A and B are shown apart, each in its own frame.
Chain A
Amino acid sequence: MSIHVVKRDSLSFGKKVLIYLGAVAAALILGGLLLLAMGVDPVAYYSRMFTMGMIGNKIAYKAAENYLKIFVPLVVTSVALSLAFKMRFWNIGGEGQFILGAVAAATVAFQLGPILPQPVTLLLMCLAGMLCAGLYGVMVAALKVKFGTSETLLTLMLNYVALYFITFLGETQAAWNFYLDEESVRPIFANFSKIVSFPSIPIGKFGLNVCVIFAVLIGILIYVYLKYTKQGYEIAVVGDSPGTAHYAGMKVNRIILRTVFLSACLIGLAAAFKVGTVGILSTTVTDDVGWTGIIVAWLAQLNTIAIFVISALIGVLQYGSTAAAATFAQVDSSFADMLQGAILFLVLAADFLIRFRVVFAKKGGLTNGNG
């Protein structure tokens, strides 16, 4: 008796979804076992988590607002990353690009916020964030195009450069450092939400931040861009076969530079949305969206619509675990990270089941020579 792994031909959409849901369920069961070991009732915990503590809460709309604050940067970053991934450019420098974008946007807020009208400042914040992040990303693309360097390594390392840069800003008290709070003795970042912040559209008690609308707009635009435009077509060809793109007379290098710039720009925009909403810099300003975005983009198989769905779900995990931590003090909110990891791992494992099936070699007909 031996086990064979055999390639599957195709699987219906429904079955695929079922297998993925199974993987998510398995991850939740795994997490549930851990919760049991900690003496927490998994059902109670999960129900608190997935409702994000909104049920029976008098200020549920606040929870929804805060949830969207997590969702927006994540979804925009994921969409941005999917652009580069579609071209098989492994931009794992979302973190670094996000930080630079955030610092640039904050700079505009501190320096121009008090002088200019708010809408102009916000627009300039977005542009500054996009430009800085874009340049930070395109630099790597330029090196790849010119010298054939590995974008994976460079974007990865530049994440740390950016992280130490913002740490330096946050810890260095000096006359020039306008990022810090002047009142405080210890070095802490100053809050500029009094000067400038993205407005909300009131719907009853609930305030819909304009960034949410922008995020949806960006999603639609990128979907159309990838699917229907010439540039999107070029990205797909370069990603699929650079040799073919070259043979078709495409300017491959220019396409790479353009696409990476656009990808990094959007990450910068996500950063501007974030700082323009929270009104403060921090060394953890990214909330790890540069990493999580990679996971989202891949789980969604680079499909823009799926990215929105998965970002929403991951946002629920992250925000829900914080909400649940208020009730279940013994479970740290980083439980969500673990659960997220388990889900990713099991969904990828499920991918194997979608592409292959395991069969047990049977003896039949004539004897099997390799029995």
Chain B
Amino acid sequence: MAEQFAIEMKGITKTFGSVVANNKVELNLKKGEILALLGENGSGKTTLMNMLSGIYQPDQGEIRVDGKPVTIASPEDAKALGIGMVHQHFKLVEVFSAADNIWMGKEKAGFLLKKDRYAQIQAMAAKFGFELDPSKKVYNMAVSEKQTLEIIKVLYYGAKVIILDEPTAVLTVQEIEKLFQVLRKMREDGHSIIIITHKLNEVLELSDRVAILRKGEYIGTVETKDTNEQELTEFMVGRKVDLNIERPVVEKTRPLLEIRDLTIRNDEGAVAIDHVNFYIRGGEILGVAGIAGCGQKELCEAIAGLRPIEGGQMIHKGDNIVGLSPKAILDKGIAMSFIPEDRLGMGLAPSMSITDNMLLKNYADSKGIFVDRDLGRADAQHVIENLGVVTPSTETPVRRLSGGNVQKVLLGREIKAGPNVIVTAYPVRGLDINSSYAIYHILNEQKKSGVGILFVGEDLDVMMALCDKIMVLCHGRMMGVVHAHKVTKEELGLMMTGSLDLSHRYEDKPAGFAKDTNFVQTDEEVEP
């Protein structure tokens, strides 16, 4: 083939211990194309790209840039070859301005910081259609701005090949659209782009070709226009997967948990949740959508009794639970599982066994001074069997399990206690498709048995398919509660950014405010 590739990777193998992260992977990137690198978590996408950007070196294989074999031993080498990577976790100096973050990597910039750097970088950003204030400090920036800055930084150093690692994970719908426009413009200017993702709709919308990895193996590369979501999923997972998320219709019961006029402050003392009203009925899943850090964590913590509230009421089956201890709230049947970004820091003790983790919330219930490990072992066995946790034994440290199994253990423990309200935040965070669907299934089972579920999520598509209603938060304010099957993604996006406020649409009946507060009657009111 006479075609000149910007990047060719041939027979790349990389192992970490006995784990083969990449096994004889082939990847070609044409000049001026957007290549999507698709694969589930742990399929070796990031490892492969880290070898392009000089963070790792391959154990075997060859990398060619513009047809010439090269050695990329460090990020410096990658920079010299015109390869730039925007990492999932930004690498910026928080206290520096945007311009200085770009400037500090420049070698021949001289000893002094010159005033004209702001103008230069401004001009540079404008050329690609970015909006950026070069003198703005990074700690004042929103996530999307930081990402923009990272991309400009890469472009500034003359990268012709740009790698983006899961760039859309942290953005809203509108911001994603904007990013895609920028990427298309960069493609027109002759840049070659690799975008790592596991979101199929984005792949189909943006890319020219798709390369698929599965468990470190190279599956193949296809033209985007010749493929579809179903086919890509099969490549990615290795078998047919039903992509429809079930939303069983369950008879809803009276509200189990009612939140009235709730105000909470975050750790810094700023208002995190601002006069929020909503309720959860038994047999429904209420989704909570919002940009990261708009008060979801504080809300979950407050309900679980882990964070003092500023004002308002939280009523569970007619009893006020404000001021109760976490243990007392748990005993009332409110279970909370929060999956933080590191996925282990809250809810599980990573070095301890599954048995010990099962005991976390009820170890104190057994009589005497000793921990009842037999009980924990039985529970662990139960969860392992019921939820299909893959583990050598009940005594395996949770840290050694894969992400999906860790989350099953966590959810299993919460469900085991027989709760009537489950608060779950990001339960599928970082999970592959199979594990995610397993978790959705678990939640639906709970819903069918009459449990009320508050589902704090990230993926709007999933929430629209799984939840009955979705509450949208923006900077701690509730922008409205909408029916999941009626709302559009664009509407949700607008609500998340605060441009659309539905909370006062019905002046007489504020949305999300429980009307049936008289708990004696169990009638079903028709919701607006």
Contact = CB atoms under 8 A, between A and B. Distances in A.
Interface of A: 2, 4, 6-9, 228-233, 236-237, 240-241, 243-249, 361, 364-371
B346 A244 contact: yes
B11 A237 contact: no
Interface in B11-31: 11-13, 15-18
B60 A366 contact: yes
Contact of B61 (A243, A245, A369): A369
Interface stretch (B63-71, B124-132, B241-249, B430-438): B63-71
B346 A369 contact: no
A9 B17 contact: yes
Query: What 9 A-B pairs have minimum CB-CB distances, sorted nearest first?
Result: A249-B326, A240-B349, A7-B17, A369-B62, A366-B11, A249-B327, A248-B360, A370-B57, A369-B63
Contacts, number: 106
B61 A249 contact: no
Contacts of B18: 9
A368 B60 contact: yes
Nearest to A245: B349
A356 to B, nearest CB: 9
A228 B17 contact: no
Contacts of B352: 236-237, 240
Contacts of A7: 16-17
Contacts of B370: 228-230
Contact of A371 (B12, B71, B325, B344): B71
Nearest to A4: B59
Residue of A231, A232, A236, A243 ringed by the most chain B CB atoms within 10 A: A243
Given A6-B15, A9-B18, A230-B371, 15 more contacts: A230-B364, A233-B371, A237-B360, A240-B349, A240-B352, A241-B344, A241-B345, A241-B348, A247-B306, A249-B327, A249-B361, A365-B13, A369-B12, A369-B69, A369-B71
B58 A369 contact: yes
Nearest to B72: A370
A370 B69 contact: no
Contacts of A248: 326, 360-361
Contacts of B356: 233, 236-237
A330 to B, nearest CB: 48
A8 B71 CA distance: 27
A7 B70 CA distance: 27
A370 B359 contact: no
18 contacts: A6-B15, A228-B373, A230-B371, A232-B371, A236-B352, A237-B349, A237-B356, A237-B360, A241-B344, A244-B346, A244-B347, A247-B338, A248-B361, A249-B306, A361-B59, A364-B60, A366-B60, A369-B12
B10 interface: yes
Nearest to B331: A249
A231 B73 CA distance: 50
A140 to B, nearest CB: 24
A370 B346 contact: no
Contacts of B327: 249
Residue of B16, B62, B363, B371 ringed by the most chain A CB atoms within 10 A: B371
B330 interface: yes
A366 B61 contact: yes
B363 A243 contact: no
Nearest to B9: A369
Contacts of A367: 62, 69
B369 interface: yes
Nearest to A2: B57
A366 B26 CA distance: 12
A370 B335 CA distance: 52
B58 A368 contact: yes
Interface string B29-69: 00000000000000000000000000001111111000001
Contacts of A364: 60
A1 to B, nearest CB: 13
A371 B61 CA distance: 10
Residue of B15, B350, B352, B366 ringed by the most chain A CB atoms within 10 A: B352
A11 to B, nearest CB: 12
B4 interface: no
Given A7-B16, A247-B306, A366-B11, A240 B350 contact: yes
B81 to A, nearest CB: 12
A244 B345 contact: yes
B304 interface: yes
A148 to B, nearest CB: 13
Contacts of A244: 345-349, 360
Contacts of B71: 369-371
A302 to B, nearest CB: 12
Residue of A241, A248, A361, A366 ringed by the most chain B CB atoms within 10 A: A248
B120 interface: no
B227 interface: no
Contact of B17 (A6, A230, A247): A6
Nearest to B69: A369
A247 B70 CA distance: 50
Given A249-B330, A369-B63, A230 B347 contact: no
B60 A247 contact: no
B174 interface: no
Contacts of A231: 369
Given A7-B16, A230-B364, A366-B10, A243 B371 contact: no
Contacts of A228: 370-371, 373
Nearest to A363: B60
B351 interface: yes
A92 to B, nearest CB: 22
Given A240-B352, A370-B73, A247 B11 contact: no
Nearest to B70: A369
Residue of A241, A244, A245, A247 ringed by the most chain B CB atoms within 10 A: A247
Nearest to B373: A228
B325 A249 contact: yes
A237 B16 CA distance: 29
Contacts of A366: 10-11, 60-62
Nearest to B371: A233
Nearest to B15: A6
Contacts of A241: 344-346, 348-350
A228 B359 CA distance: 13
Interface in B362-378: 363-364, 366, 369-371, 373
A230 B369 contact: yes
Nearest to A238: B349
Contact of A247 (B10, B62, B346): B346
Nearest to B17: A7
Nearest to A367: B62
B326 A233 contact: no
A337 B10 CA distance: 56
